[in-house]
Structure 1
């Protein structure tokens, strides 16, 4: 457990420039490149705000790992971790790199806002419209398995949080929810939940997925699938734990099943049928400058089946955005700051 002395030490070693970025609610990304350039990102873009000594960043990484009980060395030079949950760090996720992976110490920190948003917030922020709201409400209440896809930083995880924060309204509040993540990002206010987290070099996402089979979950939530653990997730979704939600990097909903095929390929040469059975809905979200939130769900498709003869997945389009550029007067600052 992190104590007050750890927090004081962490603030001191990170220094005024980085701590000021943590204090600024408009900033959601803090980057220190190996050349010492400190870059922050807010809703207006990226800004170079300072130059830091590489040795200072290397020392900061050592302290961060010490405080969070992680280990960094030349043989373990790439560490992904969660900062303390105490303000102002609030469980921010950090990617830390040292030589030989990079020329000099480098870090990327994605701040984690503690504000809980729901699908109602997504609706008022125009991230979704009424049609998508109703589709997602029905999908959640009927325990359909949902993949949220999009490019990096398109708001996938934030949309997942909003959906999960709506569970008590749209579904059985007594459900047991199992959440699998590499880095803790999802906080869920339900009575019966269990968080499972990977450990670098020890426990993989595949290991965690296999453990959930005997944990009597009603829903399996996977923060993001990026490797063969997708196969384990699909198997669990298909064998008694429906109502799942996960995120995936993909350029469109139609390419998402093939992306899952590619991820499953190390452990299964023919996962197509499993994918078609296990995945019900695919929601595509991307950047959109026409809404103040900066992100918008553009398409929702139902994965109908896999045509083995023609070797293609078949879809039913439930929603496609045709929104034109309009003035939006709603207050969407919170949502746009939270999007990851």
Structure 2
């Protein structure tokens, strides 16, 4: 009997018996199979790992998800693509036919407590190890099923590691540290997969240990290295359409939890109004992320989200002026992600509409907003980083 046939028989036995799939149980089941006695310990353990992954894990995708360099894993029907920070590349493996991919997608969704079938052909969930899962079944997925998996780094980068990776210039690292020390409110902005959560995780790790961080997220992604972090995660409705808890509700609950730093993992809806209101009521040093292709797009993006919360344009800009001070723009680049610009949000013109004024830009050094940002540091008793004074214009 081949290894493949042996693994198939053991999988079928567990499916028929309905017993708990533990590593020890899988090894015992393999040993009990006819012909398994001639297998060595190494072979048995390898087959046991394969069977266990097929029954409760990510199956043949497990080895790719375990690769620390893999950030995204995409399945298009039977094709597998991976991103190791250098763009998408085809993985030399096949998952079989559409039915096998469908079973894998449904098993992963079920492990997260999500329904995935013809009645609900898509699911967005988080695996137990933190990996983010999105799955879509045919006929919605025209040549699917499609799977999108974004891996989760167990230990956030330190600021020094971001410098070593080229994400943050060495001369700008003190500026980011000063931003946190001065308790300035900031948004990390950028496109999808540009490294917003990575940078925010790192900066939250710089918050003094005497302060309490309260995280509000749609899906729990932020895990800063800090001794006092509590998290709130939104909840989708159940199959009856009841029980949902949105980000706006969670922001209001977070305000009752004595936060020193209130953080919204990603502003994508009406919760931006609650966040701005919270930051205007004495909660300095708050933070969040926002999808925006350039800093200049941020005011319009905030306007759109503010309208969802019933906040008129003029009121939204007034709130932003009082609540937020800094934007950190990140982008994908060849070989990784980089900090592109540090901008101030300043009112301009007769209508006092907020604009993003660069204080520092990659390849250009200090910008028009450098002096205003330096003044904010002075007002808050934090030494002005040398990069704002143009002492390292080549950064």
Partner of 2:146: 106
Alignment of 1:179-258 (within 5 A): 179-201=215-237, 202-258=244-300
Number of aligned pairs?
A: 308
TM-score (norm 1): 0.82
Higher strand share: 1
Give the 3-state SS of the residue equivalent to 1:265 in structure 2: helix
CA contact (8 A) 1:93 1:184 kept: no
- Correspondent of 2:104 among 60, 71, 93: 60
Post-superposition offset of 1:63: 1.7
Give, in whole Å, the separation in 2 of the partners of 1:51 and 1:218.
49
Post-superposition offset of 1:311: 5.7
CA radius of gyration, larger in? 2
Give, in whole Å, the separation in 1 of the partners of 2:106 and 2:59.
18
Root-mean-square deviation (Å): 2.5
CA contact (8 A) 1:272 1:306 kept: no
Post-superposition offset of 1:100: 5.1
Gaps of 5+ in 2: 1-18, 24-48, 238-243, 366-395
Higher helix share: 2
Partner of 2:328: 283
Give, in whole Å, the separation in 2 of the partners of 1:72 and 1:259.
32
Structure with the bigger RCO (C-alpha within 8 Å, sep 6+) is 1
Cα deviations by residue, 1:104-130 (Å, 9 ceiling, x for unpaired) = 432100011213311122223221124
Give, in whole Å, the separation in 2 of the partners of 1:112 and 1:4.
26
Give, in whole Å, the separation in 2 of the partners of 1:21 and 1:314.
43
Cα deviations by residue, 1:77-98 (Å, 9 ceiling, x for unpaired) = 332211112xxxxx11111222
Partner of 1:143: 183
- 1:26–1:122 Cα change, 3 Å: closer
Give, in whole Å, the separation in 1 of the partners of 2:138 and 2:160.
45
Post-superposition offset of 1:222: 1.4
Q: Which moved more, 1:122-131 or 1:248-257?
A: 122-131
CA contact (8 A) 1:273 1:306 kept: no
Partner of 2:134: 95
TM-score (norm 2): 0.71
Post-superposition offset of 1:158: 0.8
